[in-house]
Amino acid sequence: MYDLPGRTDIARVIVDADAVTEKTMPTLIPRSAKVARQRRAAS
C-alpha cells in the first residue's frame, strides 16, 4: 500500500469492509480500465 502514491497506473483504490476487518488487499482499479462515471449537472 505504501507504493500506491507513486504508481501512475492506478486510478482508484476501493477499501471495503473486508480490507479493514479481514486485512485483505483493497481493490485496485487500473487507470486504463473504462470506468463509467456520471457527470454532475452544473448548478
What pLDDT digit, counting tens, does each position of 11-28 carry?
A: 999 999 999 999 899 999
Q: What percent of the chain has pLDDT over 70?
A: 70
Rounded to the nearest integer, the mean pLDDT of the chain is 80
Q: How far is CA 1 from the centre of its chain?
A: 12
**SS3 at position 39:** coil
Separation CA 41–CA 26 (nearest Å): 31
Determine the straight-line distance between the first and last CA of the chain, rounded to whole angstroms. 37
Three-class SS state of 12: strand
Check if the beta carbon of residue 15 is closer than 8 Å to that of residue 4: no
> 3-state class of 18 per DSSP?
helix
* Residue 41 pLDDT: 67
